[in-house]
Chains A and B, each alone.
Chain A
C-alpha cells in the first residue's frame, strides 16, 4: 500500500458502514449486472490503494477457485437443460458452467471488497468498531497485539542464547533438536508468566478495575460523518429493497432466467454504483488537491 487511503479521514463508522453495505449488495444477489459492476468498482478502489499488483492477486485467486467451480463442479451437478457433452452418460450442462463462473466472480468480488476494507479499516479502526460492541474484547485484542511481538522477540533471544552455548540445531539429531525446542519453549513460558504478572501489577497500579471503564478512541464523529452515513443509506436502500423483494432474482436451474430491467431498477443500480465508487472518488479528489 502506498499511502493512507483518503477514506481514513472519515470516522470508522462511515467506512464500516460502507464496507458492510457493499458486502450486502454483492452477496445478496447473483445478477450479472450487479455482480460485474461491483467487481469493476472493487478493482478500481483496490488498484488505487494497492497498485496494479492487486488485480494479479485477484486473477490467481480466480483461476484457483475457477478451476474447481467451472471445471469440476459441473461434473457433479447435472441439473440444467442444455447439455454441452456427456461424460459417463451424465450430462455436463451449460447452466452448471454458468453457475460456476458466477460463483467464482462473486467470490473474487467479495475478496476484493475485503481487501479494500482492510486498507481503510486498519487495526485501530477495526478495534474501535469491535470495541463499540464488546469493549473488553477490544482491550484484550489490543493487549494481544502488544504481547505477540514481545513474545516473538523474547523467543529469538532465547534461541540466540542456546546457540551461544554451542547448541546448533543444524548439527543435532532430530530427537535432540526437538528436545532443544522444548527447552526453548519452557524458558519462554516461564518468562511469559513473569511478564504477565508484571503487567497485571502495572495495570492495577493505573486503576484497572476501579470503576466502569470508558473506552477512549482517537476518532470524533462529526456532523459530516453523520451526513455521509445518511447519504450511504439513501444510495443503497433502493437496491437493497429491490434485491430483497426479488427484483434481481436470477435462476440457473433448470433454465437460466434473467429478470427484465425496468427504469426503476436501473436508477437504483446507478445509485448503488455511486456508492461503490465513493472511496475512489474521495481518493481522486484528495490526490488532485495534494
Chain B
C-alpha cells in the first residue's frame, strides 16, 4: 500500500460575496509518486482547488473541510516547510519569473530559505544539468523562448527539492515542441525521482498518456476519480451524473475520443490513450478495406473562382539585417475563405500576419486588397482599455461619428451574439480566457471588417470554448468574411480552415485544402490522421474515423 501524501476531505469553498460555492464537498487522496491529472471546463473550480493545496495560496473566503499534507494540516504547516515541500507553477511563464538572470532565478528560492552560498552553487549546478538548462544558463531572461521560461519556472521550484509539485495549466501558453519538452521533464521527475505531481490542463493529447489518475470536475464538484486506464468508464459515469456531454471530451486524445464515440466491446479492454494504442484498436476492429466510398463529412471548399479578397506577393521582412523572417511569401485569400497558416515556432507566422495587417512595415513585396483588414492579437487583453465589458465594446467606435442610440443598439446586439450579456458590467480582465477571446472578437466585428486576421485564437481555450469559437467563425465565413489565421493547434485548423499552408524558412512550402494537406503529411498532421494512417483513408478528425467505422463495420462490431 502506497503512502498517502495529500488528502482532502469534504472540502468546500465559497468566494466572498458569492452565493454558489466554487468547490463543494471534494474528497480525494493522492498517493506518493503519482501523477494526477485534473480536468474540467474552464471556470469549474480547478484552479481554486489547486490553490487550496498550497498554504500561502489559499484564497480568502468561506471554506470548510480538511486538507492534510503528509500528516499535517496544510494551514498548520510552517511557511518554511510549505515553501520547500510543495512547489507550485502557474500558467503564465512570464509573470512568474522574478529576477533578470537564469542563474539568479534558480538561486532565488534557496536564497529565500537562507541556504548557504556554497550549497546553492552546488544545487543549481545539479538542477541545471538535470533540466537541460546549462546551454542557456548564462542568458538574460528576456532572451528565452516561452518554453524555456516555463522549464526555468519548474526548475526554480525543483531546486528546493519539493515532494509535491502542483502545476496549473503549465503548457497552455506554449507551442507543441515546448509542450513535449516540458512533458518529458515532468515524466522524468516522476519516474526517476518519485516526485508526486498534480496538474490541470486543457489540452490532453500529450498529458493524458503520462498520468496515473484522472480527476474530472464539473461546476465545483468532483465527478469522477480513478486510474487513467479506466478513463472511458470514468467519463461514462460522469455523463450518467450530469446527463450531458462533458466539456473535457473534446480535449481528450483522438484515440480515446474514437474509443468512446464508437460502440467497441468496452468491457474487454482498458482505455486507449496513445496513438499506438489507437492504431491497434483500429487494426482489430476497422472494417475491411472494401466498400470505402468517400462520402465523409464534406470539407467546405471556397469556390475556386471566387474573387480574391487579398493577394500577398513576395513579402519580405526582417527585424535584423541578414536574418530574414519572411522571404518572398505569397498567398491568396478568397472571399469567404478561411486560410490557416501553420508552422513551427519561430517560422514567422505571427510576423506574417502583422506584415499583412500593415502593423509591421514590409521590406519588399505587395499586399493587394481593397478591403478593410483587422487583426486579432494573440493576447486579447492587449485590446482592452475600459473597465466594463459593455464600455469595452462601445470603445470600438472611438473616432467614428455615430449616434448614441445606434451605438447602444449595436453593442447590445454584439453582447448577445457573443453570449456576454450576463457579464456586461464585469471588468474585461476578470473574464475567463474564452470570454475574453469572444469580447476581443466582438469588439473587432463591431467595425465590420472584410478580412480578419487571427493570431493563435485558441491559445489557452478549453474545448467547449473552442467549439463556440469554431461556430462563430463559420458564421462569419458564411457572411463572406475572409479569415486568415495562424495556429499551432492542428485539430482546430483541421476543423475550421478551408485551405492551409505550411510556413517554413519564411515562405509557404506546401499548400492545399485541409484534407489534402493533412492526409499527405504523415508527421506534421492531426492525431486522428496519425492514428488512422494506412488503416482508414482520408480521416483527419476523430469524427471522420467514427463515420468510417459506423458505416463500414456494423456487421462486425455490434
Contacts and interface: CB of A to CB of B under 8 A. Distances in A.
Interface centre among A161, A195, A204, A206, by most B CB within 10 Å?
Answer: A206
A203 interface: yes
Given A187-B382, A216-B120, A205 B95 contact: no
Interface in A87-132: 124
7 contacts: A166-B374, A183-B385, A187-B383, A205-B57, A206-B108, A213-B114, A218-B103
Interface in B43-94: 54, 56-57, 79-80, 83-84, 87-88, 90, 92, 94
Interface of A: 124, 139, 142-143, 145-146, 149-150, 153-154, 157-158, 160-168, 172, 176, 179, 183, 186-187, 190-191, 194-196, 198-199, 201-218
B101 A124 contact: yes
A264 B261 CA distance: 97
Contacts of A149: 140, 142
A211 B88 CA distance: 19
B97 interface: yes
A194 B382 contact: no
A201 B90 contact: yes
Interface centre among A154, A157, A202, by most B CB within 10 Å?
Answer: A202
A164 B453 contact: yes
Interface string B2-13: 000000000000
Contact of B111 (A124, A186, A198, A216): A216
A206 B399 contact: no
A161 B395 CA distance: 14
Interface residues of B, number: 67
Contacts of B116: 214
B308 interface: no
Contacts of B378: 157
Contacts of A194: 95, 429
B358 interface: yes
A187 B114 CA distance: 38
A128 to B, nearest CB: 11
A187 B385 contact: yes
Contacts of B95: 194-196, 198-199, 202
Contacts of A186: 385
Given A164-B359, A179-B398, A211-B113, 4 more contacts: A165-B374, A191-B381, A207-B79, A211-B80
Contacts of A207: 79-80, 83-84, 109, 112-113, 160
Contacts of B92: 198
A164 to B, nearest CB: 3
B372 A202 contact: no
A211 B114 contact: yes
Contacts of B110: 214, 216
A187 B160 contact: no
B377 interface: yes
B425 interface: no
A146 B79 contact: no
Nearest to B455: A164
A173 to B, nearest CB: 10
A216 to B, nearest CB: 4
Contacts of B157: 205-206
B125 to A, nearest CB: 10
A161 B377 contact: yes
Given A160-B382, A216-B120, A208 B112 contact: yes
B432 interface: no
Contacts of B108: 203, 206, 208
Given A143-B99, A217-B117, A165 B88 contact: no
Contacts of B357: 163-164
B83 A210 contact: yes
Interface string B377-397: 111011111000000000010
Nearest to B120: A216
A290 to B, nearest CB: 19
B218 to A, nearest CB: 26
A139 B375 CA distance: 39
Contact of A143 (B100, B113, B429): B100
Interface centre among A124, A145, A161, A214, by most B CB within 10 Å?
Answer: A161
Interface in B113-148: 113-117, 120-121, 140-142
Nearest to B106: A216
B134 to A, nearest CB: 14
